[in-house]
Amino acid sequence: MKVILDAMGGDNAPLEIVKGAIEAKKEYGIDIILVGDEDQIRNILKNENAEPNSFEIVNTTQVIMNNESPTNAIRNKKDSSMVVGLKMLKQDKGDAFISAGSTGALIAGGTLLVGRIKGILRPGLAPIIPSKKGPFMLIDAGANAECKPQYVLQFAMMSEIYMKKVLKKDSPTVGLVNIGEEEEKGTQFTRDCYKLLKESDINFKGNVEARDIPFGAADIIVCDGYAGNIILKTYEGAAEVIFSIMKEKIMSSSRAKLGGLLLKPVFKEFRKEYDYTEYGGAVLLGTKKAVIKAHGNSKAKAIKNAIRQAKLFIESDVVNNISNGIEKRFILENKEDNEPDNVD
Amino acid sequence: MKVILDAMGGDNAPLEIVKGAIEAKKEYGIDIILVGDEDQIRNILKNENAEPNSFEIVNTTQVIMNNESPTNAIRNKKDSSMVVGLKMLKQDKGDAFISAGSTGALIAGGTLLVGRIKGILRPGLAPIIPSKKGPFMLIDAGANAECKPQYVLQFAMMSEIYMKKVLKKDSPTVGLVNIGEEEEKGTQFTRDCYKLLKESDINFKGNVEARDIPFGAADIIVCDGYAGNIILKTYEGAAEVIFSIMKEKIMSSSRAKLGGLLLKPVFKEFRKEYDYTEYGGAVLLGTKKAVIKAHGNSKAKAIKNAIRQAKLFIESDVVNNISNGIEKRFILENKEDNEPDNVD
């Protein structure tokens, strides 16, 4: 098993990425290919006292930035760590690709360079998110701003396989994001999704209101990528703002400071239990090989967890399971949706 | 000035509703009409030592429940506190109507019974929400699951008037919810909205990512009702879940309990500063008279604040300002969107 790692992606690259690789190598013993600026990578390996030959290094000269147009970047920056890494994945030089770099570029690159599983209309971005009841999968968190109901049915089906195989969850429940629980609520799109999900053999529990999502409304939450992105970002933003305000307020008086000190273990436990990097990054479900997006601000531990996630993904043979599931469960009516997989 | 209050709407009706009316009467001295079960209302007034003749009471025998189909309920429950109250508003027996009851029914009833301001394509539900930078207005929070870009432009324009006149905010900024900041991001709908907002004389600051909303990304956040509902509910749900987990954890050890005790003033201050009822309820912007939705779990204070909000709304002449603004600023191209205002 070989994991290809974009050493240049993310706010803390390459230092934290390489450190994460070192930790993962130590803990899981899998082969990791580091793609990026070789000099920088070698320097970090040296500073961290890592065996320089324990990693394969592929030198690249470009980095895709967050503010670039994803598709243009993928097409034009041929020697970027992301494009080179994804092409290596496509060419079977590794079994998974992980990047903490531009989400948009990774989605575009994963779809264009690695390609979709036969029968999959669109890959969906699926982060694992903590809730009060445990982790759930949100799909699509932003790969497809506009979706057809058929995509959503496939998102549900792919996530079901992931939850079963990787997170060992029997019969995971699926909830559709809506503005009310009744079947007829929402838009024409949500009503069409509801119908498809209800008619499928998925463990569909119906519409879910956004308010219930942080409490753990379902194991899998499906929606279009616009709504999913909003859920993910509002959830993150709300949590961030609450803790930032709390912190400021705790620092405002000595009584509060003492209280904060006493509550330190509680805050720490909280952060640990609700650490969104605990289960790795967001999977791009539906590509021919594992493509994983680690959070942009990933530190070594988050990268290590994403590598563990890639390992589980590969070991559980998620891609073949999806491929078999699609063949069994779907009659693809919308052939025009099946454009060619690859663009060079 | 007369405010019509649905005494039967919400989780704590009629007790907290009537208590809120008593407090508002004392503080603002405005006339309040209580619509609901007269016996229950009189009992509460008596128990609270309120002058029984200080309120006009209109007896009704029905209540619209949250689980009813909004449009059916409005059409069929002719003697419900909500329908009677909205009809009184229409007939100029009052200047504003407030309810903590079914949001869906209030939106349907406000639109069907009270009617839209001439030129307004669709009223939008607009709660005032706390952020780290102060309150902002979110519109549409769920009145229209599906929207046209023209609606969104009107939402922005109406909210601008509200923020200027009621919240005394000069030149409020408007942000469009999107999955990225660049103009071309998102769906065809968001791109069309962007174009319209950019071309208008609104203080449009461009796309806003959901993550930045709790930090106070703009004074007015516009989107379709499906997205707006998701933002509102995810924000509420995230805050609720964080405080519920914190509470459980604080109770789990004596050290944490002591820390929690010391932080009590901080928590209290937090709750006060970020109290979403501080600015009242959600306004249904675009109806011919003020229709305000108080939160379903409103207590007396929230109702009092909604009454103050109604007072400010009426005093600032928001409806006429919107009406003039629409006339000046819009050439209504989509005449077919202008169905008759009222349905009996």
Q: What is the mean pLDDT of residues B292-320?
A: 96
Whole-model pTM: value is 0.93
CATH number of B1-121+281-344: 3.40.718.10
pLDDT for residue A273: 86
Architecture field, domain A128-275: 3-Layer(aba) Sandwich (3.40)
The closest CB to that of A142, out of B104, B179, B265, belongs to: B179
In this prediction, the answer to ipTM > 0.95 reads no
Tokens describing residue A74: 């993928």
Q: Which residues in chain A have their CB less than 8 angstroms from residue B232's CB?
A: 210
B214 touches A: beta carbon within 8 Å: yes
Round to whole Å and give the CA distance between A144 and A141: 8
Residue B156 has a CB neighbour count (10 Å cut-off) of 26
Residue B87 has a CB neighbour count (10 Å cut-off) of 18
Round to whole Å and give the CA distance between B97 and B33: 9
Is B233 in contact with A210 (Cβ distance < 8 A)?
A: yes
Which chain B residues in 190-209 lie under 8 Å from chain A, judged by CB atoms?
A: 190, 209
Q: A285 by DSSP, 3-state: which?
A: strand
Q: Which of B266, B276, B297 to mutate to test the interface with A (most CBs of A within 10 A)?
A: B266
Round to whole Å and give the CA distance between B294 and B304: 10
Q: What is the mean pLDDT of residues B22-48?
A: 97
- Contact of A272 with B269, CB cutoff 8 Å: no
Query: Torsions phi, psi of A41, nearest 5?
Result: -60, -45
The CA-based dihedral angle spanning residues A104, A110, A115, A116, taken in that order and rounded to the nearest 10 degrees = -70
Q: B133 by DSSP, 3-state: which?
A: coil
pLDDT digits (tens, 9 = 90+) for B170-192: 999 999 999 988 898 999 999 99
Round to whole Å and give the CA distance between A141 and A147: 12
- Contact of B250 with A200, CB cutoff 8 Å: no
Residue A333 has a CB neighbour count (10 Å cut-off) of 8
Q: Which residues in chain B have their CB less than 8 angstroms from residue A145's CB?
A: 179, 185-187, 190
What is the overall mean pLDDT for chain B?
Answer: 93
B248/chain A closest Cα distance in angstroms? 10
* Selection from A338, A320, A336 nearest residue A328 by Cα: A320
Residuewise pLDDT in 10s, chain A (344 residues): 999 999 999 999 999 999 999 999 999 999 999 999 999 999 999 999 999 899 999 999 999 999 899 999 999 999 999 999 999 999 999 999 999 999 999 999 999 999 999 999 999 999 999 999 999 999 999 999 999 999 999 999 999 999 999 999 999 999 999 998 889 899 999 999 999 999 999 999 999 999 999 999 999 999 999 999 999 999 999 999 999 999 999 999 999 999 999 999 999 999 888 888 888 899 999 999 999 999 999 999 999 999 999 999 999 999 999 999 988 776 444 444 544 444 33
pLDDT for residue B145: 96
> With 60 as the cut, is the pLDDT of residue B318 above it?
yes
Question: In chain B, which residue's Cα lies nearest the Cα of A184?
Answer: B69
- Contact of B5 with B60, CB cutoff 8 Å: no
Q: Which residues in chain B have their CB less than 8 angstroms from residue A210's CB?
A: 229-234, 237
Is B142 in contact with A179 (Cβ distance < 8 A)?
A: yes
Query: Torsions phi, psi of B258, nearest 5?
Result: -65, -45
The closest CB to that of A237, out of B190, B213, B261, belongs to: B213
Tokens describing residue A246: 């709390």
> With 70 as the cut, is the pLDDT of residue B128 above it?
yes
Q: What are the residue boundaries of the structural domains of chain A, listed by start?
A: 1-121+279-344, 128-275
pLDDT for residue B327: 82
pLDDT for residue A330: 64
Q: Which residues in chain B have their CB less than 8 angstroms from residue A265's CB?
A: 253, 255-256
> With 60 as the cut, is the pLDDT of residue B343 above it?
no
Query: Torsions phi, psi of A220, nearest 5?
Result: -130, 130
B104 touches A: beta carbon within 8 Å: yes
Q: Which residues in chain B have their CB less than 8 angstroms from residue A213's CB?
A: 234, 237
H helices of chain A, in order, are: 15-28, 38-47, 70-76, 81-90, 103-109, 149-165, 188-199, 225-250, 254-262, 264-273, 300-315, 318-329
> With 50 as the cut, is the pLDDT of residue B332 above it?
no
Residue B282 β-bridge partners: B293
Specify the CATH number for A1-121+279-344; select among 3.40.718.10, 3.40.640.10, 3.30.465.10, 3.20.20.390. 3.40.718.10
Is A246 in contact with B240 (Cβ distance < 8 A)?
A: no
> With 70 as the cut, is the pLDDT of residue B267 above it?
yes
Query: Torsions phi, psi of B187, nearest 5?
Result: -105, 175
- Contact of B93 with B4, CB cutoff 8 Å: yes
- The crossing angle, in degrees rounded to 10, of helices B318-329 and B149-165 is 130
pLDDT digits (tens, 9 = 90+) for B217-252: 999 999 999 999 999 999 999 999 999 999 999 999
Q: Which residues in chain B have their CB less than 8 angstroms from residue A214's CB?
A: 234, 237-238, 240-241
- Contact of B104 with B312, CB cutoff 8 Å: no
Is A187 in contact with B145 (Cβ distance < 8 A)?
A: yes
Round to whole Å and give the CA distance between B129 and A230: 17
pLDDT for residue A292: 98
> With 90 as the cut, is the pLDDT of residue B273 above it?
no
A233 touches B: beta carbon within 8 Å: yes
Q: Confidence class of residue B344 from pLDDT cuts 50, 70 and 90?
A: very low
